[in-house]
Structure 1
């Protein structure tokens, strides 16, 4: 089933013609719970991983835990529409206190499914995203890994890993992604309007327009950041959103080249300020606003994942050399 973003409540280029020069494209992934295969682009499904190739592991020290959730119990509880029960963390030989710890496979994306996916090293066209299931240090930092592959070459492997290794317990239920199929859709996008992301006079006009809309139409009036610029949810390419941190310069640590946004991962596909982006296929046309949205959690939080305190995870790669280390920014 396709997913179709509704027309924006206001034509942004009609209000701000200068934005035409800054227009970009992003691919909204529209994840929905399903049964993806290893040769599909997906979130939370089986990775295309040759059997015998070492699975990514984290060797760093991890935050000590007190309780957790078994992955299989999480799956059974979700299938039953219930909440999983936690259990005490084992005292001796606890995975996560002493490495190595297997990473959790979060997602994989083929360029054949998502043409705007930037190329990896040697024109790699399959990106696989992983996260360590445990926190690191007093600031509870997370570790991510990006693996690039040549899809055609990888698919010629004789055998593939049947099941990824897992830790016995996860600290939080939202560490385990729900397997989701994707419904990629390219849409127009415009930069975040704050602190130099656009010319200062244009940002001032956008801010004034937002204020006037709220004054005239109330709190439900459309606004630039929430309704006209950057869609919520998982997406590939386009512009980063900076709601929590404000705009940041992201330069390559290896060569100082400004980095490009590869993809954005987000725990929620919508909230009260961005519900206008919910696809037509997930709405009741007889209703308006938030009341029109159908599908419950499968639409609002289909992947069950969270990043930071409900922030966006931006993955940046080097434009000069995709082989340089990526950067991970929570905003």
Structure 2
């Protein structure tokens, strides 16, 4: 079923026609829980993967904060043992000592279930998004590719020039689907994960929408014009939340609203400005963006506010950028 964003409260082009030159098309993915196949676009679904291509591993340094065993049975067992550990504690509470004891307990339980497990081993990456160009218009280099695949490591990372600290680390694959003659068997699963980084398998209902820059990215004279427009309208409509940036999971567009850092350009090592490729969000909408809920789901209430179940930071968005000069240049990420 196609999903349709309600019309925005106001048509900004009527009031500020100059904004048109700063607009971009974005594709709202509208992920919804389901059972996607390898020949379908998806979030958190299986990937069309060649049998002769090794599955990617993360070899970066990991921070154990937030790690838990992947298997449900192990998570339940850890919860029970962790509770006993907490109840057996005596004396003043020492948070660091408690965290160290929990990690030791977790590692012991995991090693019992997976003999030979070494927390320093490379970690299998998991599927985050598979986007066929037929579903998502505007993806880069359509003359060379018709399939974009994005994976990430479901553990925290200490950060680098291209990876945001304490968030998943991405890898990207660009493909021609017809060149995958024989598909790989089921993908390996990581033994450990940060549960909030494990997306539920979702089908997608892509929708093309127009986005405008975040307020802080506008030229100064347009910032003033937008502020004057909001004051003149006087109905409480907010440029950022209600007009400019679609919430939820999406491809391309302008992406996110800077809230944790002062805005800065995402620049490639070649000097080109990098552009948003995928925005992974902690939910589809919240109390400030509920006006973006699709028309077809107007009576669904909050039941579809978080179908993917991924939570980044403290309810933030995580954005992957690409260099328009070459798909071989390093991708960069930021959290909003």
Q: Tell me the TM-score range normalised by the shorter chain.
A: 0.7 to 0.9
Alignment counterpart, residue 203 of structure 1, candidates 223, 226, 230: 223
CA distance in 2, matches of 1:188, 1:178: 27
Q: Aligned in 2, Cα 1:274/1:323: closer, same or farther, shift over 3 Å?
A: same
CA distance in 1, matches of 2:251, 2:326: 19
* Partners of 1:233 and 1:266 within 8 A in 2: yes
Structure-to-structure mapping, 1:107-118, within 5 angstroms: 107-118=129-140
Corresponding residue SS for 1:262: strand
Q: What residue in structure 1 maps to residue 88 of structure 2?
A: none
CA distance in 2, matches of 1:49, 1:5: 33
Q: What residue in structure 1 maps to residue 155 of structure 2?
A: 134
CA distance in 2, matches of 1:305, 1:6: 25
The answer to whether 1:301 aligns with 2:306 is yes
Alignment counterpart, residue 85 of structure 1, candidates 76, 101, 104: 76
Alignment counterpart, residue 251 of structure 1, candidates 267, 275, 294: 267
The answer to whether 1:125 aligns with 2:140 is no
Q: Aligned in 2, Cα 1:320/1:70: closer, same or farther, shift over 3 Å?
A: closer
Structure-to-structure mapping, 1:11-26, within 5 angstroms: 11-26=11-26
Q: Aligned in 2, Cα 1:188/1:64: closer, same or farther, shift over 3 Å?
A: closer
The answer to whether 1:237 aligns with 2:252 is yes
- After superposition, the C-alpha distances for 1:213-253 in whole angstroms (9 at most, x for unaligned) are 5xx44xxx211000111100111111132332242201112
Gaps of 5+ in 1: 75-83, 285-293
Q: What residue in structure 2 maps to residue 153 of structure 1?
A: 179
CA apart distance, 1:206: 1.2
CA distance in 1, matches of 2:72, 2:325: 42
Q: Aligned in 2, Cα 1:193/1:64: closer, same or farther, shift over 3 Å?
A: closer
Q: Aligned in 2, Cα 1:13/1:35: closer, same or farther, shift over 3 Å?
A: same
Q: What residue in structure 2 maps to residue 39 of structure 1?
A: 39
Question: How many pairs does the alignment contain?
Answer: 299
Gaps of 5+ in 2: 79-104, 160-164
CA distance in 1, matches of 2:31, 2:251: 12
RMSD of equivalent CA atoms: 2.4
CA distance in 2, matches of 1:241, 1:67: 27
CA distance in 2, matches of 1:17, 1:268: 32
Q: Aligned in 2, Cα 1:303/1:235: closer, same or farther, shift over 3 Å?
A: same
CA apart distance, 1:304: 0.7
* Partners of 1:95 and 1:167 within 8 A in 2: no
- After superposition, the C-alpha distances for 1:19-50 in whole angstroms (9 at most, x for unaligned) are 12222211111110011100111001111112
The answer to whether 1:2 aligns with 2:23 is no
TM-score (structure 2 length as normaliser): 0.81
* Partners of 2:277 and 2:320 within 8 A in 1: yes
CA apart distance, 1:327: 1.0
The answer to whether 1:276 aligns with 2:291 is yes
